[in-house]
Structure 1
Amino acid sequence: MTSSSTPPAGPSGPPDAGRPLRRLVARGRGETHRAASPLELFFDLCFVVAIAQAGIQLVHALAENHVGEGITNYAMVFFAIWWAWMNFTWFASAYDNDDVLYRVVTLVQIAGVLVLAAGVSRAFEDHDFLAVWLGYAIMRLAMAAQWLRAARAARGVERSVTLRYAGGILLCQVGWLGLLVLPEGGRPWVFLVMAVAELCVPVLAEKDGQTAWHPHHIAERYGLFTIIVLGETIAAATVAVKTGVEENDALADLLPIATGGLLIVFSAWWIYFVVPIHGHLRSNRQAFLWGYGHYLVFASAAAIGAGLEVAVEQTVGKAHISTLAASAAVTLPTALYLLTLWALHSRHFKVGIAQQAVLPVTALVVICCTFLGEWAVLAAGVVSALAVVTGTTLTARMVAREREAKATAPVV
């Protein structure tokens, strides 16, 4: 365990804070008051720029009824963004020493995601992945450099872990060249093979030892990124509604979509943060499943915003799709978000069939709302809000019963 080699740092920050250059050693998992740094928050905001670009292109694809192609390209681009973000997040949780070199390499990664964002439109429209590949390569080479720097200060099992990370990242980056050199029809297969290879790198790298990631810090980082993605969803939907009102004077028609969209996003935030998930992250097995599962959480949260834009465009006559398809663009990612959160978060803290069934049943009802025509989005929002009310009520009753039982229990 690499975490045992380094004493915990205090609440003021990493060990030896204030020096411009210092050894990149593992931080302690027992640190108190560990919180996200300003650099990490800046990192997240820049990554959301790329997510916004992917969302815009998904809107265009769905509005033009290129559903299969749009979803495939979105999944591929979003994986590159999410995986680079996730790798940095877990590395920073274990090794962030906040010196000058660490900051510079992190800023290089930010530059990489901006290059990737600039190439998203060409990837969707022309199937030209050169800029996306280049941006991803910049991020991944910078990440490999961070792992190699950590390896210099490591010993024993920890050194093997860091070197396997660096080597795996570099080998995978060579494999991604297939997106540039293979025919267009083979690119989805390249993506599938290389995505699986990327997912295997952390599992293989940490087979003999666990890096010193901090459970509370990881939970906070994922929560903050969820907030930023949901904020981008609200921003995108707001711009779409504003444009529809100004250009088509369709306030009355768009009001149900705007109201339903807000209820969905508000409910998505509430459900995510209703339980303190950091206590569940005790081992790599739990953490890997939880961390990997957030691909669906982040992707579906961002897709909700794209779906709301599609619904607005369909309502004002700018999208070449049916009302049913526009409704599905909102309800399906909403249902996926709810089911994924239940699988990753809620089921670990719910007691009894009633509490366990709230989110799965809600997801099913949200899907049924797809068939309600122009009221589909509003209905999905109301159902999501009712899920929050139901879950909160059931939890409150359970807590009240437990308190009553304790109060009436005989004193031994």
Structure 2
Amino acid sequence: MELKFILLLIINLIMLLSSTVTADQYVRPLPRKNLNIPWPWDSKSQPYPQQVHISLAGDRHMRITWITDDKHSPSFVEYGTLPGRYDSISEGEFTSYNYMLYSSGKIHHTVIGPLEYNTMYFYRCGGQGPEFKLKTPPSKFPITFAVAGDLGQTGWTKSTLDHIDQCKYDVYLLPGDLSYADCMQHLWDSFGRLVEPLASARPWMVTEGNHEEENIPLLTDEFVSYNSRWKMPFEESGSTSNLYYSFEVAGVHVIMLGSYADYDKYSEQYRWLKEDLSKVDRKRTPWLVVLFHVPWYNSNKAHQGAGDDMMTVMEPLLYAASVDLVLAGHVHAYERSKRVYNGRLDPCGAVHITIGDGGNREGLAHRYINPQPKWSEFREASFGHGELKIVNSTHAFWSWHRNDNDESIKADGIWITSLISSGCVDKNKHELRSMLMTP
């Protein structure tokens, strides 16, 4: 057994060194240290459900995900609106995976519902362990999203999560790079335990980043850890891949795209995106928000041009669809654009926000291109999180909160007017119809 763990340690060190060598050659300030999380052989086996997190799973439904070391543990969830009193029960599914010498626990996915809007529910996983509680999102405006990408598991991560926990948010949006496990699978487990207090109480909607890929040619499958642990409502939204999907909540249609899935005009993702956009009803969901990992508008010297290919293919379609807001990560800094399209200011373009500053171990990307592009409104290399409060069908307030040591300081804020209220949706509807009908 000791030899097995020694071999695992050697493999993990090799993967860590290789990822460090291939990193971009720009200088980052020293981040806070990684959190002190014990290795698997140092920790006691967890007899109860752990790493509990929830996500939206179609209209008035929620997916509960948890992991058990006991391979015989059942995959049902009991729930109700009073503590300790469970009026309903749902049976789910389970999976597991192997990665080199690592074997995951039993990963349970159970969908519960239909649920009442804006309601507190109490639930228990597998008939044992502690009781958890979650709050469902509202059915109509106002609704608040917390946003932060590139989380990791450092002291800065904890600071960001503490600040998000103080925010009265309904849904958390994470545009890629979750655990920074980078092939060291025990870090997926420690990440699950780290985020459980927040992720078990409000839906976390995530998309993949480059640190989720974890591909070792001929030895492992791409995204096997991410897809096994963080199942999103891709099937509910008609997608064939967990790497891209959409969902609707309280008057907002949110599209989560995959920067690391094929995206050319002949790809399955592009075909799905056109089909998804054809179903959007701006009377029912006047706000249209898109997330993916690699930003298209980025004046930081880090990852310059990394999103250009995807932008060339997909930006015309998103522009025709009158997307209000685009959120991305990858660059470890914050930046907000004016409304922009095709590199130029455009009143019918989207506001692009890069928010890959959640707390990763690689540090901040602090070097920017000067002079600042005309489309770039605000930029700063600090860790933090964003809050998007959509007040009604026409107005939303975006704010970015810097981690000033362990205090949350609002450093940027702006009112955003929806494109449906400015006439852009009507202006672009014929172009959109034409693009959706093009094979």
With the length of structure 1 as denominator, give the TM-score of the two structures: 0.26
The structure carrying a bigger strand percent of its residues is 2
